[in-house]
Amino acid sequence: MSNCRLDGYVDSEEINKFRTKEGLAPIKKKVVSCLRCKNKFESKDYPRIRLCGRCRVVSISSIIYSYE
């Protein structure tokens, strides 16, 4: 689920209540350094999201169009 969907459709507190009920770890927000460009950004799902939005778009584009 993308960050936009997470923010736009549901409350993160609701998700964390459900995750706790199901025995899953809660979703954490954290300011982190991007693994590619090293710029700081707020990850809305740490540790799963470790690339900033710009680097994520570049990464996805390189997979789709097969360039490095």
* Widest distance between CA atoms in the chain: 43
HSE (CB half, 13 Å, CA atoms) of 66? 0
Amino acid at 31: V
Half-sphere exposure of 61 (CA within 13 A, CB side): 7
Which residue range forms the structural domain that includes residue 21?
3-65
Residue with tokens 């969907």: 5
Residue 58's pLDDT is what? Answer: 75
Per-residue buried b or exposed e for 25-37, using 16+ beta carbons within 10 Å of the residue's own CB: eebeeeebebeee
Give the tens place of pLDDT for each residue, 6-56: 555 567 788 889 999 999 989 888 999 999 999 999 998 888 889 998 888
* pLDDT given for residue 63 in this prediction: 63
Domain count, the chain: 1
Whether the pLDDT of residue 1 is over 50: the answer is no
